[in-house]
Amino acid sequence: MAAIRTWACFLLWIGLSRQDKAPDVVVTCMVSEECVLPCSFQPGGEETVEWFKQEVMIYKFRREEGGDHGNDGNRSDSSKQVLRGPESQQLAGRASVLPQLVSHGNATLVVRGSGPKDRGTYRCHVHTSQGEHNAKVIVKVEAPISGVSLELSRLSGYEEMKCTARDVFPAPRVAWTTEPPTFQDLRPVTRVLASKGGLYKVDSRLKRLSGQPNLVYVCKVMTSYGGPAWTASLREREIRGAEGKDLTIPCSAPSYLNGPFLNWSFSDGKDLSPILTYDGRTGHSTSSPPWGDHVELDGFRVAFGDGSLRLMDPKPSEHTGSYTCVFSLQHNTHTERSAVTIEPPGGRGSSEQPSYWWIAGLVVAVLLLLVALVCLLVYLKVKGRTPKSRDDPEEATELNVAKDFTADARLAERSPMTTTTNGN
Amino acid residing at 315: K
Tell me how far apart the alpha carbons of residues 118 and 115 are, in angstroms, rounded to a whole number: 6
Q: What length is written for the chain?
A: 424
- DSSP 3-state of 136: strand
Alpha-carbon gap, residue 138 to 117, rounded angstroms? 13
**What 3-state class would DSSP assign to 71?**
coil
| pLDDT of amino acid 227 | 81
352: confidence class by pLDDT, cuts 50, 70, 90: very low
Give the 3-state secondary structure of residue 146: coil
- pLDDT of 396 strictly over 80: no
* Banded model confidence at residue 83, pLDDT cuts 50, 70, 90: low
Q: How far apart are CA 71 and CA 23, in angstroms?
A: 36
Picking from 401, 398, 399, the residue whose alpha carbon sits closest to that of residue 409 is 401
Reported in sequence order, the residue ranges of 149-293 that DSSP labels E, i.e. its strands, are: 149-153, 160-168, 173-179, 189-194, 200-207, 216-222, 230-242, 247-249, 261-267, 272-279, 284-287
Q: C-alpha distances in angstroms, 58 versus 22, 79, 80, 169, 294?
A: 20, 15, 11, 24, 67
pLDDT in tens, 16-51: 344 445 578 999 999 999 999 999 998 888 889 999
Note the pLDDT of residue 145.
Answer: 94
* Run of H or E including 7: helix 2-17
Who contacts 335 (Cβ-Cβ below 8 Å, separation ≥6)? 150, 232, 233, 234, 235, 324, 325, 326, 327
54 CB neighbour count, 10 Å cutoff: 10
Per-residue pLDDT tens digits for 43-62: 888 889 999 998 889 888 88
How does pLDDT run across 122-170, given as a tens digit for each residue? 999 999 988 899 999 999 999 999 999 999 998 878 899 999 999 999 9
Of the candidate ranges 2-16, 53-67, 231-245, the one whose mean pLDDT is the lowest: 2-16
Residue 397 has pLDDT above 50, yes or no: no
Of 173, 114, 172, the residue nearest 141 (C-alpha): 114
pLDDT at residue 420 is higher than 60: no
Please give the order of strands across the beta sheet that includes 109-111: 35-37, 109-111, 95-96
| Of 198-202, 250-254, 348-352, minimum mean pLDDT range | 348-352
Per-residue pLDDT at 348: 53
**What confidence tier does 224 reach under pLDDT thresholds 50, 70, 90?**
confident
Beta strand segments in 315-420, E: 321-329, 332-343
**Strand 332-343 and strand 230-242: pairing?**
parallel
Query: Which has the higher per-residue pLDDT, 7 or 237?
Result: 237
Q: What is the pLDDT of residues 93-133, one digit of tens each?
A: 888 898 889 989 999 999 999 999 999 999 999 999 888 99
| CA nearest to 41, candidates 72, 70, 67, 63 | 63
Q: What's the pLDDT band for 14 if we cut at 50, 70, 90?
A: very low
Report the 10 Å Cβ neighbour count for 194: 12
Distance CA 198, CA 116 (A): 6
pLDDT digits (tens, 9 = 90+) for 278-287: 998 888 889 9
pLDDT of 401 > 60? The answer is: no
Residue 116's nearest CA partner among 82, 88, 136, 140 is 140
48 CB contacts (<8 Å, ≥6 apart)? 60, 61, 62, 63, 126, 127, 128
Other beta carbons within 10 Å of 243? 18
* Sequence letter at residue 383: K
Kindly indicate the confidence band of residue 271, based on its pLDDT and cuts at 50, 70 and 90: confident
What is the pLDDT, as a whole number, of residue 363? 85
What's the one-letter identity of residue 158? Y
Which range among 3-17, 96-110, 331-345 shows the weakest confidence by mean pLDDT?
3-17
What integer best gives the mean pLDDT of the chain?
A: 81
Q: Which of 12-21, 104-113, 320-329, 365-374 shows the lowest per-residue confidence on average (mean pLDDT)?
A: 12-21
Q: Is the pLDDT of residue 3 over 80?
A: no
131-154 core/surface letters (b: 16 or more CB in 10 A; e: else):
eebebbbebebbbbbeebebeeee
CA distance 348 to 342: 10
pLDDT at site 395:
45
How far apart, in whole angstroms, are the C-alpha atoms of residue 250 and residue 325?
Answer: 9
